[in-house]
Amino acid sequence: MSLEIGQKIPSAELHVKDADGIDVFETVAGFAGKKIVVFSVPGAFTPTCSIKHLPSYLEHYEALKDAGVDEIICLSVNDAHVMYAWGLDQKVGDKITMLADSAGDFSQALGLAVYMGPVIGTRASRSAFVVEDGVITKAFVEEPMVYEVSSAENVLANL
């Protein structure tokens, strides 16, 4: 299975950490009734993810909100502690929800799981997708080792 327009968000329990602790993000409820842009990255603190991908969503945060996006989510196969630390490092504040798909099950169910070699193992492929009331309405999945279509600029141009 691969990420497809019209696909319903699979049910999963992901995790998000803040200064008060770790909370469960239940995907079906979390995506209900909202327009959400999700961008998935191979890993927190990795070069392209930290230098280009996540910063593009911070740079275009206001424009995405003005275009009707209720929430921006960064998804990675990392644990909640790592995602929280990366969010602090990147100064995301409350602009981006840093979701941890620790076991990679959600990424697998979406068709985004890809083996990236022995150093980082199986991760979510680089992508972006728009979810409206729990249904994927736009999908931008990168070829391996590429960063183009999943940028905030491209998503914004295609909303």
pLDDT tens digit at each of 159 positions of the chain: 578 899 999 999 999 999 999 999 999 999 999 999 999 999 899 888 899 999 999 999 999 999 999 999 999 999 999 999 999 999 999 999 999 999 999 999 999 988 888 888 788 999 999 999 999 999 999 888 889 999 999 999 999
Largest CA distance in the chain: 41
The pLDDT of residue 45: 93
The pLDDT of residue 89: 97
List the domains of the chain with CATH numbers: 13-126 (3.40.30.10)
- Active-site residue list: 49
Closest Cα to residue 125, out of 138, 139, 112, 109?
112
Q: Which stretches within the chain are classed as H helix?
A: 27-31, 47-48, 54-59, 61-66, 80-90, 105-110, 152-157
The pLDDT of residue 120: 80
The pLDDT of residue 98: 98
The pLDDT of residue 3: 84
The pLDDT of residue 16: 98
CA distance 83 to 17: 8
